[in-house]
Structure 1
Amino acid sequence: MAVVDSAPESGLDLRTPWVPRSNPWLIAFAVMLGTFMEVMDTSIANVALPHIAGSMSITPHQATWVLTSYLISNAIVLTATAWFSRTFGRKRFLLICIGIFVAGSLAAGLAPNIEMLILALIVQGIGGGALQPSAQAILLESFPVRKRGKAMAFYVLGVICAPVIGPTLGGWLTDSYSWRWMFYINIPVGAVAFLLVDAFVEDPPYIRHAVKTALDIGGFVLLSVWVACLQIVLDKGQDADWLGAVWIRWMIGIAVVGFLAFVVWELTARDPLIDLRVLKNRNFGSSTAIMMAAAMVLYSTTTLLPLFLQTLMGYSAFQSGWAVSPRGVGSVVGVLLAGQLMGKMDDRIFMVTSLIALAWSSYLLGSINLNVGMFSVTGPIIVNGFAVSLLFIPLTTVAVSTLRNDQIGNATSIFNLMRNLGGAIGISITTTMLSRTSQVWQNELVSNATPLNPAWRHSVQHLQAALAPTGPATHVHQQVLALLYHSIRQQAGLWAFVENFRFLGLLCLVCVPLVLILRPVHHHALPHR
């Protein structure tokens, strides 16, 4: 990557400690606020989609393009963050992105139709794409290595609590006021974040003196093509019956060819948009793979559990958001524990423990039935929040522990892209499994719905006797069959959710060997690079 080679040309010693003039904790709060705003807004949007569809007279399927357009522009800009930071300065670029995000939020709130809303979300995604990698890079650069664990604990607290608060807040805003307020709420938060970043954040010398390079146009175009095609496939594949749709097959083909061409281009370009060679670093490459798998579990669980509560248990959007909110309690406990013990224990112990705890929480969710109450969901979801916090903090710290400071900006862009893609892939896989597995179980259960089955015959007779006073025998028989078919669909749906949660638990355990590949990090022995 250009900045790695440019620093020596500018006469900078990358091993010389750099200390920001402002208190690092003020910097941490400033950058975390912008990230909190972006992550929370993404989770709020899921709740409001039915209301957006209703107010704009469009189908729910059309309304999902609101999220797809945001995610595509977000992912494209996210990976180009390192180049923009070198060219414009990281602080200036972060301020610009906060401004664009707030402007996009205002435009989305005022959008009169779906076309303008999608355009506004594209603008918002452009601004939001750089917030997380820029915040992480600034945070990691501002703290000495021995304190990065505590700094990341503070940062992760905001990142993990945002999706917990988002659905509940979004449900309340949408029910009490309008879906447009889920965008308006970003304006005051963004204004405060802008002022704090302007007051406390500064660029380190290797950013201020980095040699400016031309934008890697070829890499940027190839990146935009494969990321956009992949995101569309992941979002729309299930609705279009995957390979059953010709246009999905074309999209997959373009995404694969575009990705391979992008890798070759970036590895041979003189000044690549993204320095993929950083993945050869054992800690960073392994940590990125673990993060991708962990994101699949986190995002899938966040999607599946409210869906289970609403479709099978009859919860409202607000009630389901409230039911999963205890995850924040587990997250806070995990953050506090990790912040206190980071540097005192081997980080790999934290990660293995958290992966096992995450698998256990998924197993507990895979044991639910249609008779559970809200409290039965609370325990597993608290464990889930605790495990995710305990995993993300040491994982993010270990990922960059053996990289130079001037490589962190590029690394955080890749790290966050893989996390987002992991989440999108996880949601796509689990929603597809949910639909297909539900059909399989429904066919299995219906095959037993025959008069030759004593249990079925007993259920029919029992319901007919209970409903006999309600009308003629023919009408009662139709009611009985409808009730039993509804019960079959519920049971099939339940087993589909159970298998999904168990699959996620297995995925966590598969990641454990990757942790053992990581080199141990001796925090007190590392200088502030």
Structure 2
Amino acid sequence: MDSENQPPVNPWAVAGSVMVGTFMVVLDTTVVNISLPYVAGSLSASIEESTWALTSYLAANAVILPITGWLAALFGRKRLFILSVASFTAASLLCGLALSLPALVLFRIVQGASGGVMQPLSQAIMLEAFPRQERGKAMGFFGIGVVVAPILGPVLGGWLTDNYSWRWVFYINIPVGIVAILLLRRFLHDPPYLDRSGKRIDAWGIGLLAVGIAALQIALDKGQEEDWLASAWIIGLLVTAAVCLTVFVVHTLRVAHPVVKLRVFADRTFTLGTVLVTLMSFVLFGSLVMLPLLLQTLMRYPPLEAGLAMAPRGVGSLIAMPLVGLLVARTDPRRLLALGFVLGGFTLLWLSWLNLDAGFWDLAWPQFIQGIAFGLLFVPLTTTTMDGIARAEMGNATSVFNLMRNLGGSMGIAAVQTLLARDRQAHVNILGSHVDPFSPAAQAWLRNLQSAFIARGSDAVTAGRQALAAAFGMVQKQAAMISFIDAFRLLALIFLLLAPLALLLRRPEHQRGPTVAVGE
């Protein structure tokens, strides 16, 4: 089809079309998490084995992200987007019908690869559909999908699993995918400047990148479970990732038509913005994985209630995103970004003041304000980072940007899981050292526990053993709570340290001079 002969389309119609599919994909990254115990039970697998349903999705997603720009140039954006939505929808149906874990993992790989295309492609399409001075509005709309969807995922997953079955976590994608395809066929067109000329396929680049990214993603996802460098398998994955990605960089800088154009990092603002989004995702996804663990393991929240307790963060982001999108055109986005880091750091410090007696509103208010902070972060960071990128290079830039955002999230999850496990054990040893037979306070505490068990009908010997077990359980619970507090404080420190870096970004061009026309 000749894209130059297409009638002009309202950019908001384009934005709505691409966001339907993108929201579905981003939601799927977290909606499955809360259903894993039910998946394991239904498919006769262990909880550890069922996590491959997540690892396979994330690995396939990470592999496809950086080559999306190249694929769009090869096949055309409209054709690639519709094919991705169709394959994601079909894979969702097959995931719901899966009768074994290997089958589910295979279909999740197809889901991950299909979904990986849509995130950077939708971002590139929306950035190009709007003039520069209105890109903040577009990214506010886009941010509702990529920031709010992962937060709402546990709520929807918990509700579907509790009321229907884990299979409906996948079936829910089918009507959404059909609507997305109909909208894309109507409103999406390829830009006239999209270079689809025949070029030699960079097979070596694709192979090295795919193996390196997949190895890194699997190592991050399975590292804590396998005890990191104590596992030969994890060491092998990390070495493979390091070698493949190093060779990939050298190869890419030498070939004429690489699958990923790394020279985009010559733009200082793009480079700094990519570093900031990586670290922002480190904190965002790290904190996102901590709260469900805190709620379900220490505070005994059921899955649905745990999801609802996390909803205020999504509400805050939902309110902030469109408002910040309007502010970006009227004020310096770098100041909004710095404010977002400071506000986000403050809310993480607020969460570090929680204890085991915390109620719903003790969790709700810091999360609501944190949602506002994430709105202040995502929209200004994206618009500022992409401001100096030419339209023809937007697909490549958004692919790299989204890859680093996803890898930052994976690193954050891996770091938080490791910190919680190691820190909890350290605090168990510290707290446990104060419970000894020579401490009068400890002796009085154990006697009170023993008396309580005797009052319930236990004999003196059994009650003594129950008292020791109960005391150790309390020590473990307090140690776990302290480990969560330490993790919140670490993430808060990272956010506060990032605030000054936001001011080093270059101010967007439309705020430095005359307004840039749509057809620049």
- TM-score bin (small chain): over 0.9
Distance 2:287 2:441 in 1: 35
1:49 to 36, 40, 48: 36
| Matching residue within 6, 19, 26 for 2:13 | 26
- SS state of the match for residue 253, structure 2? helix
TM-superposed CA distance for 1:464, in Å, is 2.4
| Residue 385 (structure 1) aligns with | 371
Per the alignment, residue 397 of structure 1 pairs with 383
Determine whether 1:160 maps to 2:147. yes
Report whether the alignment pairs 1:257 with 2:273. Answer: no
* 1:93 counterpart SS class: helix
Matched, 1:476 2:463: yes
Residue 214 (structure 1) aligns with? 200
2:276 aligns with one of 290, 298, 301: 290
Structure 1 runs (4+) deviating above 3 angstroms are 17-20
Structure 1 segment 95-114 matched on structure 2, within 5 A: 95-114=82-101
Match of 1:374 among 360, 373, 392: 360
Moved more, 379-388 or 449-458: 449-458
Aligned-residue RMSD, C-alpha: 1.5
Do residues 131 (structure 1) and 118 (structure 2) align? yes
Task: Give the CA deviation at 1:403.
Answer: 1.1
Instruction: Measure, in 1, the Cα distance between the counterparts of 2:311 and 2:193.
Output: 41
How many Å apart are 1:526 and its aligned residue? 4.2
User: Shift of residue 380 of structure 1?
Assistant: 1.1
Q: Give the CA deviation at 1:19.
A: 10
How many Å separate the matches in 2 of 1:18 and 1:526? 27
Structure 1 residue identity aligned to 2:26: V
SS of aligned partner of 1:130: helix
Partners of 1:104 and 1:198 lie apart in 2 by: 20
Gaps of 5+ in 2: none
Deviation (angstroms), 1:510: 2.1
TM-score by length of structure 2 reads 0.96
Aligned residues of 2:424 and 2:482 also touching (Cα < 8 A): yes
Q: One-letter code of the match for 1:513?
A: P
Residues 1:276 and 2:262 aligned together:
yes
Select the residue among 398, 419, 428 that pairs with 1:442: 428
Deviations 1:425-452 (A, max 9, x none): 0000000000000000000111111122
Q: Is contact 2:451-2:463 (8 Å) kept?
A: no
Match for 1:500: what amino acid? A
CA-to-aligned-CA distance 1:76-101 (integer Å, 9 cap, x gap): 11111111111111111111111111
Partner SS state of residue 268, structure 1: coil
Equivalenced residue count is: 512
1:223-238, aligned counterparts within 5 Å?
Answer: 223-238=209-224
What's the offset of the Cα at 1:20? 7.1
Q: Where in structure 1 are there 5+ consecutive unaligned residues?
A: 1-16
**Alignment partner of 1:425 is 2:415:** no
User: 2: distance between equivalents of 1:468 and 1:117?
Assistant: 50
Q: 1:94 aligns with which of 60, 81, 101?
A: 81
What is the distance in 2 between the residues matched to 1:320 and 1:526? 47
User: Which residue does 1:80 correspond to in 2?
Assistant: 67
* 2:57 and 2:111 in contact (8 A); partners too: yes
| AA matched with 1:347 | P
Secondary structure at the residue paired with 2:109? helix
Q: Check conservation: 1:308, 1:497, Cα contact below 8 A.
A: yes
Q: Could you tell me how far apart the structure 1 residues matched to 2:74 and 2:238 are? A: 33
Q: Name the residue aligned to 1:65.
A: 52
Residue 173 of structure 2 corresponds to residue 191 of structure 1: no
Percent same amino acid among aligned pairs?
43
CA–CA distance in structure 1, aligned partners of residues 475 and 515 of structure 2: 60
Cα 1:212–1:509 change in 2 (3 A) is farther
Shift of 1:248: 1.2
1:148 is matched with which residue?
A: 135
TM-score by length of 1: 0.95
Deviations 1:367-387 (A, max 9, x none): 110010011000111111111
Deviations 1:489-528 (A, max 9, x none): 0000001100111111111122123212211114353413
